[in-house]
Chains A and B, each alone.
Chain A
Amino acid sequence: MKPARFRYLRPASIGEAVDALAEQGPDAAVLAGGQSLVPLMNQRLRCPAALIDVNFVSELASRGDDDASLVIGALVRQRELESDRALGRAEPLFAEASLFVANRQVRSRGTLVGSLAFADPAAEYPAVLVALGATATARSPRGEREVSCASVATGAFSNSLAADELITSLRVPKASAGRGSAFTEIAERQGARALAGAAALVELDGEGSVTFCRVVLAGVADVPLQVGGLDHLQGEPIPTGEKIRELLTAWTRKIPVRDDRRVDPRYQRALALEVSVKALQCAGRRARRPTGCS
C-alpha cells in the first residue's frame, strides 16, 4: 500500500526541528530512521498530517564522550553501534543486542533514539538503555530536560514526551572496571520480534562479590521490565545457574506479560525466566573475565 499524503518538513538544525514540531502540533511525526514509522505509514496504520524529517540535521549525527558518559546523537544509526570500535569497546551491550534486531539493512537506517521513542514493547535497545541507566535529552521551545530512559515508555507504543519535545541525544554512563554485561533473546526466527529478551549488568568487587546487578526484559511486558528479586545477590558471589533460577522463579511467575495472543502467558513467563538466567550468568562470567562467556 501507499501512505496517505503528508506535509513534508526538512529542518536543517535542531532549532528549526523543534520550532517545526511545535508549529505542526500533535498530528506531526518526527522521521529519523523510519524503519518502524514508515512501514506503519505504508499500511496507513499511521497517517501523520506532517512529517518532520530530521535526517538532514547534521548536529544530531554526532557522538562522543566525556569523563562519565557516552553521548549518542539522535541520528546515530544502529549499525554504527556495531561497526564503531570505540563505541563497541566502551559499551559492548549495544553490539550484542544488535544481533537480534531486524537485519543489517534495517539497522543501517534505524536509530537508537528512534527505537527508544517508538516504544515498541518487543524492541531490544530500550531494554538495553534502561539496564545501562541511560538518560535522554529532550528539547522543546520551553528548553531542555534530561529524562531517564526508564521513564520514556509509558505503555506499548506510547511515550512520556510532550508533543513538542524532540530527543536530541542519549547519555550512557560509562562502564566501570569489574562490570560484565550480556544480552540474549528468544524469537521465532532470526530478527523476528522478541518473545523474550534480557539485558543484564553485573558489577563485582575485588573479591568477586556482587556490588551491582540488574536485568531488564524486552518483549515480555508493555514496557522494559526490570527483573525483581535480585537483592539477595548483593555482597555474594554470582551463584550457579540453578541458584539463579530458584531465586527468579517466584518473581517471573508474577510478570504482567503483555497479551499479544501469539503465545500462552505461562510460556512467555517461562521464556522470561530462561533469558534472565542466561543473561545474568553470562554477565557474571564476563564481570570476572571479559571473554568469560560467548
Chain B
Amino acid sequence: MRRAPSPAPDGMFVMATDEISVDATVNGRRVVASVEARMSLSDFLRHGLGLTGTHVGCEQGVCGSCNVLVDGVAVRSCLLWATQVDGRIVTTVEGLQDVPGLEQAREAFVAEEAFQCGFCTPGFLIALAEVDFRPGEAGVTDLRRFLSGTLCRCTGYQTILNAVRKLG
C-alpha cells in the first residue's frame, strides 16, 4: 500500500485493474491511500492502518467480529472492499469513545464479565453502537435476535445478554 496522489472525484467512472484510491475518514482522521481493489475493509483497517481492534474471524460475514460503523451503520468489514468506503466515515472499536452511550455499554460488559477470550467483544460493541431501541426495555426474544448477528465462540452469551439488558 502506498499513498495516493489524489482521490477519484465524485460522480466519475472509475476502473482499476491494479490499485485504486480510497479517501475516507477513519475514527475522525482523514485517510488517503491506494489499495488493491480486492483488499477488504477489515484487512485495510488492520494491516494498512494498524487498527487491530477490528477482528477477522470467518471472512464470510457470519461471525460479526469485524463489525464496523460506516456512516453510523454497523456492517461487516470483511464483506466490503476498502475502496467502497471512499468518501465515507468509518468508526472502529478504537473510535467508540466518541460514540454516545458506548461508555455505558463498556462498563456493563465489564460489570457482567460479558467476555471470556474477548475476541468477539469489538463486534458486539459496534453492533450496540447503532441500536435504535432501548435495550433495557426490549424483550428478551428481540434482544436475542439482535445479538444473533455476532458469534461468541466461548458461548458466553448469557453474560452478554445480561450486560445488554442493563443498558437503559
Contact = CB atoms under 8 A, between A and B. Distances in A.
Contact of B127 (A10, A11, A104): A104
Nearest to A51: B37
A105 B75 contact: yes
Interface string B70-86: 00011110111101100
Q: Which of A2, A51, A99, A104 has the most CB of B within 10 A?
A: A104
B37 A99 contact: no
A8 B79 contact: no
A5 B79 contact: no
Contacts of B14: 8-10
A109 B38 contact: no
Nearest to A5: B38
A103 B12 contact: no
Contact of A8 (B12, B40, B83, B150): B83
> Interface residues of B: mostly helix, strand, loop or mixed?
mixed
B113 to A, nearest CB: 24
A5 B18 CA distance: 9
A92 interface: no
A55 B145 contact: no
Contacts of A157: none
Contacts of B96: none
Nearest to A107: B149
Given A5-B38, A39-B61, A103 B148 contact: yes
Given A3-B38, A8-B15, A38 B79 contact: yes
Given A55-B84, A109-B76, A38 B149 contact: no
A34 to B, nearest CB: 6
Interface in B1-33: 11-17, 20
A189 B61 CA distance: 16
A53 B22 CA distance: 14
Contacts of A39: 59-62, 79
B13 A12 contact: yes
A282 B20 CA distance: 51
B153 interface: no
Interface residues of B, number: 37
B46 interface: no
Contacts of B17: 7-8
B73 to A, nearest CB: 5
B67 interface: yes
B13 A11 contact: yes
B15 A190 contact: no
Given A5-B38, A38-B61, A190-B144, A104 B76 contact: no
Contacts of B67: 105
B124 to A, nearest CB: 11
Nearest to B77: A105
B61 A104 contact: no
A160 interface: no
B31 to A, nearest CB: 19
Contacts of A3: 38
B37 A8 contact: yes
A191 B61 contact: no
A6 interface: yes
A103 B60 contact: no
A43 interface: yes
Interface in B80-125: 80-81, 83-84
A249 interface: no
B135 interface: no
Nearest to B14: A10
A104 B80 CA distance: 15
A2 B38 contact: yes
B54 to A, nearest CB: 13
Contacts of B62: 39
30 contacts: A5-B36, A6-B38, A8-B14, A8-B20, A8-B38, A8-B83, A9-B13, A10-B14, A10-B15, A34-B80, A35-B76, A38-B61, A39-B60, A39-B61, A42-B40, A42-B60, A53-B81, A102-B61, A103-B148, A103-B149, A103-B150, A104-B146, A105-B74, A105-B76, A108-B73, A109-B76, A190-B144, A190-B145, A190-B148, A191-B148
